[in-house]
Structure 1
C-alpha cells in the first residue's frame, strides 16, 4: 500500500485540489486510488489541528480506517491532503506563541515523528509539497490570517516577524526528509504548476496523464477580501470573539460583494522590501533548489517592480463609512443574528453548565443548527420580497 501525502503549503491552491479529489472518488478508484478525508470534510486539517498535539490515537484510527476502506475498494494507493501539515506549530498555536525558531522547529520535528509513527510500517509514503516565491507566500498568508484564521490585527511587518521561519522552506522540509527519507519527499514550484495546479498534481504526484473525464471545480476558493475591507477587518480583529470568527468571516464576505468600487491592491510589501526579503532567504532557497532538485524561480526585477508599484493609500474616511454601512446592514440579517445568539448561548452554557456540552455537540453534528439557519435565511428572503 502507498500513501501520497500532500502537506501544503498554504495559499498554493490546496482547497481547490482537495475539492477536486473529493469530487472524483470514482475516477480515482478506477486508477486504484482512494482519497481519504474525514466525514463531512474534504481535507484532513481537523486531524492535524488536534490529534497530533493531544495524542495520535484518533489519527492512527483514521489511517487504519482509510487503509481498510482502500483495500475494500481494491485500491493500492491512499491520497491525503492537509496544508496545515506544513509549519504545523505556527498554525496550531494561531501565531500567538512567542517562541524562538529553534523551539518551533524542535516541536515541529516531534509532531512529524508522531505522524510517521502513526503510519503502519508496511505503507510506502510519498510526501509532496508546493512552495511559492517567499514574498508571495507571506502576503497571501497575511491576507488569509487577517481575513479568518488567527484574527491577526498587526500589519504585514508584524506578521513577518512572527512567521519568518516559515519562509525558510529548506529548514522545514529538511525535517520531513530526515523523518520519512530523502527519496520519499518531493517539492514543486507553485508558479511553475500554474495555470492549473490540479493538472500538475494529478500528473506528477498521481501519475495520471489524462483527467479529461474527471469532474473539475469551477470556482476559485479562498478569494481575498478587497484591500479596504481587509484593512477595516484588521482594525476590528482584536474586538472579535474567537468563537465568532467564522461568523464574522461570512459577514465580511457578504459585505465584500456589496462594495461599489473595491480596491484590490494586495501588494503589502514595497518592491525594495520584497528584494530585501528575497536576498535574506537566498541561501536557504539555493539549498532547497540543490537538495530537492527544484528549478529556480524567475528573477525578481527590482527596477520593473518599482516602476509599476502603486502604494496602498490607506483606508479613507469615505470608504470606511461605506464599509460600516454595509457591515451593519449585513449583520442585522435574521440568519446572522440567530447564529450569533446561538454561539453566545452555547459559550454561556459551556462555561456555567459544562454537563450540557454533549447535547450542544450533538445538535451541531446532527445538522439541527444548520437547519435553523437555513430556515432563517428563507424567512429573510420572504421578508425581503
Structure 2
C-alpha cells in the first residue's frame, strides 16, 4: 500500500483540492486511489491537530482504519491531505512569537518523527508540498488569519516577524526529507501549477491522464475579505474573546458582501519591503529549487513594483461607519444572537456536561 501525504502549504488551493478529492471518491477508486478523511470532514486537519495535542495515537488509529477500508475497496494508494501538517509547531500554536526559530524547528522535527512512527512500516510514503512565492504566501496567510483569528491584530510587518521561519521552505522541508527520506518527498511550485491546481495534482501527482470522468466543482474556498473590512476586523480582534472568533468570522463574511465599492488593495508590503524579504529568502528559495529540480518562482521587479504601487490609504471615517452599520445589522440576526448567548453561557460552565451540551447546540446555528 502507498500513502500520498499532501501537507499544504496553506493558501495554495488546498481546500479546493480537498473538496474535489472528497467529492470524487468513486472516480478515484476506479484508478485504485482511496481518499482518506474523517467522517463528515473533507480533510485531515482535525487529525493533524491531534498530532500536536495528543501524540500520534489518533493518527495511527485513523490510518489503520483507512488502510483496511482501502484494501477492501481494492485500492493500491491512500491519499491524505492536511495543510496543517506544514509548520505544525508554529501554525497550530497560533504563531507563538515567544519561541525562537530554533525551538520551533526542534519541536517540528519531533512532531514529524511522531507522525512517521505512526505509519506502518509496510506502507510506502510519499510526502507532497505545494509552495508559492514567499511574499505572496505571507500576504495571503495574513489576510486569512486576521479574518479567522482574533489573536492576529497587528499589521502585516508584525505578522511577518511572528511567522518568518515559515517562509523558509527549504529549512522546513529538509526536516521532512531527513525523516521520510529524499526519494519520498517532492515539492511543486503553486504558481507553475496554475491556472488549475487540481488538474496539476491529478496529472503530475496521481498520474491520471484522462480526467474527463471526474466531477468538476466550482469551490470558492477561503475567500479573503476586502481591505477595508479586514482592517476594521483587525482593529477589533484584540477585543474579541477566543470562543467567539469563529462567530465573528462568519459575521464579517456577510458584512463584506454588503459593502459598496470594496477596496481590494491587498499589497500589504511596500515594494522595498517586498524586495528586502525576497532578498533575504533567496538562498533558501534557490536551494529548494536546485535540490528538487523546480522551476523558478515568479520574478519580482522592484522598478515595476515601484511604478505601479498604490499604498493603502487607511480606513476612512465614512467607510468605518458603513462597516459598523452593516456589522450591527448582521449580528442582530436571531441566529447569531442565540449563538453568541450559547457561547457566553458555555464559557461560564467550564468542566461540566452542560458546557458540552451548550457547545453542541451552537453548531446548529453555524
1:201-232 CA deviation, whole Å, 9 max, x = no partner? 11111111121111122132111100000000
Offset of 1:347 from its aligned partner?
Answer: 1.8
| 1:32 CA drift (Å) | 0.6
Contact 1:151 1:245 in 2 (8 A): no
Q: Does the CA-based 8 Å contact 2:19-2:42 persist in structure 1?
A: yes
- In the other structure, the counterpart of 2:18 is 18
Structure 1 residues 212, 140: closer, same or farther in 2, change over 3 A? same
Aligned residue number for residue 333 of structure 1: 333
Aligned residue in 2 for 1:383: none
Q: Secondary structure at the match of 1:50?
A: helix
- Secondary structure of the 1:274 match is helix
Report whether the alignment pairs 1:29 with 2:4: no
Q: Is 1:295 aligned with 2:286?
A: no
8 A contact 1:52–1:115 mirrored in 2? no
Q: TM-score, normalised by structure 2?
A: 0.97
Aligned-partner Cα distance in 1 for 2:246–2:14: 19
The 2-side partners of 1:82 and 1:135 are apart by: 22
- Find the counterpart in structure 1 of residue 215 from structure 2: 215
Deviation at 1:151, TM superposition (A): 3.3
Who is 1:44 aligned against?
A: 44
Where in structure 2 are the equivalents of 1:314-329 lying within 5 Å? Answer: 314-329=314-329
| Superposition CA RMSD, Å | 1.3
Quick check: 1:88 aligned with 2:81?
no
In terms of mean alpha carbon deviation, does 244-253 or 47-56 score higher?
47-56
Which residue pairs with 1:169 in the alignment?
169
Q: What is residue 378 of structure 1 aligned with on the other side?
A: none
Q: Please list the CA deviations of residues 268-305 of structure 1 after superposition, one character each: whole Å capped at 9, or x if unmatched.
A: 00111111111101111111011111111132111111
Give structure 2 stretches of 5+ with no counterpart.
none
Cα contact 1:7–1:83 (8 A) shared by 2: yes
CA distance in 2, matches of 1:258, 1:195: 29
- Once residues 311 and 82 of structure 2 are traced to their aligned partners in structure 1, the CA distance between those partners, rounded to angstroms, is 34
| Separation in structure 2 between the aligned mates of residue 336 and residue 355 of structure 1, nearest angstrom | 23
> Within 5 A, what are the aligned runs for 1:304-319?
304-319=304-319
Q: What SS is found at the alignment partner of 1:239? A: coil
> Distance between the aligned counterparts of 2:238 and 2:103, measured in 1?
27
Q: Does 2:274 correspond to 1:270?
A: no
C-alpha change, 1:295 and 1:198, in structure 2 (3 Å) is same
**Do the aligned residues in 1 keep the contact of 2:133 with 2:298 (CA within 8 Å)?**
no
1:68 aligned residue: 68
Residue pair 1:32, 1:74 contacting (<8 A) in 2 also: yes
Contact kept, 8 Å, 1:33 with 1:77, in 2: the verdict is yes
Deviation, structure 1 residue 343? 1.2
- CA 165–267 in structure 1, closer or farther in 2 if over 3 Å, else same: same
Say which is worse superposed, 294-303 or 104-113, in terms of deviation.
Answer: 294-303
Question: TM-score, structure 1 length as denominator?
Answer: 0.92
